[in-house]
């Protein structure tokens, strides 16, 4: 039974998510303020975090919808407030995706109320389930509705990207865990997400694009546990959410620090920052080891829980192990190119690498220590969640299953580097290609990786561009931009509902 105190939902799931959101809030805000952003940005960021907390502690569907939509509005304001080139287009695309999610949630809650005559967050009406599913799929960036993540996070202020990456998709994960647990096809969608995110991350040439696709991949892990629906699956999924908030925020801070100091996050152009940014390098190394699942860090704990939850589901377990190998490969690449690789003299970074301010270093150090502490002291921080008997994660066999994927991924990257060196011509190689960016502003919108004809994100980006053009055309013809917005959002909403109903 749910406990309500002053209108706040205090059920065990809400407590876990609220504790994770509060835990990540302080270092994220310290990092934001260390970059000397406008006061209005800081206030909006605090409001965004408060709205995210409102979603996971909402006592009923009415307040759930209010806070859900407030998050979207504050995000759009955070995107456009700096007036960066293309900022309105980025915000508009984000707006379209999340208003579609909001409309679907509105329909779902309306049907739920008409059926039950209550806003209580209890058993869902069958007629409302498809609309709840669509809203959750968009918010959690489930493939193929993930495109708003790589289109948004690399194009905003580095500190804003840290906060958005920590909270937005996790609200979608909470909605899945609270409303739609134990649906098998959702678990398989999560496994596909984990593999798809890794495959796309391996193709990226900028640090923040790589992190965006790994954000999608890591959410896939969470969705697998929630889709399985067992107690261990829910525990593994929710704790992976918490751990991911810690090390993913840390990795976005590290990438943002390198971008802030050097003027670029193009991997082939940054190299060598580890010599001048030792604390950032150390924090990045811990974050990379945590996301790869190296024991005894926090990522290892939640991945071990999820592997145990997938016993009896060989496809799901195999997908998570394969995704773990790809993750280790990706973050060997991330660490090598950002901190150790010597960049080509033909395309040097525009700025001089040096350590961040003490406040930014404190934020990164605190998250690095949390990544260690939440793993080493497990299950100390997990006692309040569902009151489970802690699943043991120690032992030679379990640790080997944590170490082996990391070892294989790093070994594959080392082999890849050896092949590249052996095949490297005397002049600039294709891996050194990166369009120079002369400032932080220009670097905030990095060129995309070389695209293949079948690249699904290129197709989605093209479709969104066409939607944008259609809305502008309608606005010009009618003299009222509202008509264009409403028609385009309605078209997206109808297409999504038809697709998932089919």
Contact between 269 and 226 (Cβ < 8 Å): no
pLDDT of residue 357 exceeding 80, the answer is yes
Q: How many beta carbons lie within 10 A of that of residue 394, not counting itself?
A: 11
The per-residue pLDDT for 445 is 42
How far is the C-alpha of 235 from the C-alpha of 238, rounded, in Å? 5
Estimate the crossing angle of helix 207-228 against helix 298-309, to 10 degrees: 40
What is each CA distance from 367 to 227, 241, 246, 259, in whole angstroms?
Answer: 29, 15, 6, 19
**What percent of the chain lies above the pLDDT cut of 70?**
77
The per-residue pLDDT for 303 is 94
How far is the C-alpha of 200 from the C-alpha of 180, rounded, in Å? 27
Task: Show the tokens assigned to 5.
Answer: 């105190």
**419 burial class (0-12, 13-18, 19+ CB within 10 angstroms)?**
exposed
Phi then psi dihedrals of residue 266, to 5 deg = -70, 120
pLDDT of residue 408 exceeding 70, the answer is yes
pLDDT of residue 16 exceeding 80, the answer is yes
**Mean of pLDDT over the chain:** 82
How far is the C-alpha of 384 from the C-alpha of 238, rounded, in Å? 12
Contact between 183 and 139 (Cβ < 8 Å): no
pLDDT of residue 467 exceeding 70, the answer is no
SS3 148: helix
- What is the model's pTM? 0.84
> Which helix (H) or strand (E) covers residue 4, if one does?
strand 4-5
**What percent of the chain lies above the pLDDT cut of 90?**
51
pLDDT of residue 306 exceeding 60, the answer is yes
Buried residues in 233-247 as b, exposed as e (16+ CB within 10 A): bbbbbbbbbbbbbbb
pLDDT of residue 145 exceeding 70, the answer is yes
The per-residue pLDDT for 343 is 66
Q: Are strands 8-9 and 4-5 parallel, antiparallel or unpaired?
A: antiparallel
Task: Provide the pLDDT confidence category of residue 265 given band limits of 50, 70 and 90.
Answer: confident
pLDDT of residue 484 exceeding 80, the answer is no
Q: What is the mean pLDDT of residues 27-42?
A: 88
What is the C-alpha radius of gyration for the chain, rounded to an integer number of angstroms?
Answer: 22
Q: How many beta carbons lie within 10 A of that of residue 417, not counting itself?
A: 15
pLDDT of residue 382 exceeding 80, the answer is no
pLDDT digits (tens, 9 = 90+) for 149-181: 998 999 888 999 999 999 999 999 999 999 999
Between 128 and 12, name the one with better pLDDT.
128
Task: Provide, for the chain, the percentages of residues in helix, strand and coil under a 3-state DSSP scheme, each rounded to the nearest 5.
Answer: 75, 0, 25
pLDDT digits (tens, 9 = 90+) for 186-215: 999 999 999 999 999 998 889 999 999 999
How far is the C-alpha of 229 from the C-alpha of 381, rounded, in Å? 22
Task: Provide the pLDDT confidence category of residue 451 given band limits of 50, 70 and 90.
Answer: very low
């Amino acid at each position: 039974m749910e406990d309500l105190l002053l209108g706040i939902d205090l059920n065990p799931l809400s407590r876990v998510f609220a504790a994770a959101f509060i835990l990540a809030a302080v270092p994220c805000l310290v990092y934001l303020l260390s970059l000397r952003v406008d006061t209005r940005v800081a206030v909006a960021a605090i409001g965004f975090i408060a709205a995210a907390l409102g979603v996971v502690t909402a006592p009923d569907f009415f307040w759930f919808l209010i806070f859900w939509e407030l998050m979207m509005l504050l995000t759009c304001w955070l995107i456009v407030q700096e007036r960066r080139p293309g900022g309105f287009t980025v915000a508009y695309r984000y707006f379209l995706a999340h208003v579609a999610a909001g409309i679907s949630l509105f329909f779902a809650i309306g049907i739920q109320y008409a059926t039950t005559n209550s806003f209580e967050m209890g058993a869902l009406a069958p007629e409302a389930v498809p609309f709840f599913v669509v809203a959750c799929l968009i918010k959690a960036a489930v493939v193929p509705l993930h495109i708003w993540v790589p289109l948004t996070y690399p194009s905003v202020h580095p500190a804003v990207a840290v906060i958005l990456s920590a909270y937005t998709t996790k609200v979608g994960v909470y909605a899945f865990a609270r409303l739609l647990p134990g649906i098998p096809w959702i678990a398989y969608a999560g496994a596909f997400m984990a593999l798809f995110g890794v495959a796309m991350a391996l193709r990226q040439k900028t640090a923040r694009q790589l992190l965006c696709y790994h954000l999608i991949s890591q959410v896939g892990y969470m969705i697998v546990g929630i889709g399985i629906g067992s107690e261990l699956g829910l525990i593994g999924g929710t704790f992976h959410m918490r751990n991911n908030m810690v090390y993913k925020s840390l990795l976005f801070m590290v990438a943002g620090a390198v971008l802030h100091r050097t003027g670029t996050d193009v991997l082939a152009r940054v190299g060598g920052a580890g010599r001048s940014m030792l604390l950032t390098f150390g924090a990045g190394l811990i974050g990379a080891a945590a996301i790869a699942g190296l024991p005894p860090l926090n990522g290892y704990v939640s991945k071990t829980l999820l592997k145990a939850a997938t016993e009896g589901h060989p496809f799901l377990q195999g997908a998570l192990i394969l995704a773990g190998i790809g993750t280790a490969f990706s973050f060997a690449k991330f660490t090598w190119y950002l901190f150790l690789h010597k960049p080509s003299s033909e395309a040097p970074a525009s700025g001089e690498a040096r350590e961040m301010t003490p406040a930014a270093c404190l934020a990164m150090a605190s998250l690095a220590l949390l990544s260690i502490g939440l793993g080493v002291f497990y299950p100390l921080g997990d006692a309040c969640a569902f009151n489970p008997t802690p699943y043991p994660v120690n032992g030679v066999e379990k640790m080997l299953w944590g170490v082996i994927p990391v070892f294989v991924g790093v070994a594959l990257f080392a082999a890849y580097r050896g092949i590249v060196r052996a095949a490297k011509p005397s002049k600039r190689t294709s891996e050194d290609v990166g369009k120079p960016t002369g400032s932080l502003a220009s670097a905030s919108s990095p060129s995309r990786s070389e695209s293949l004809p079948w690249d699904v994100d290129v197709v989605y980006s093209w479709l969104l561009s066409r939607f944008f053009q259609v809305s502008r055309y309608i606005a010009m013809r009618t003299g009222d931009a509202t008509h264009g917005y409403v028609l385009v959002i309605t078209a997206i909403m109808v297409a999504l509902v038809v697709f998932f109903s089919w």
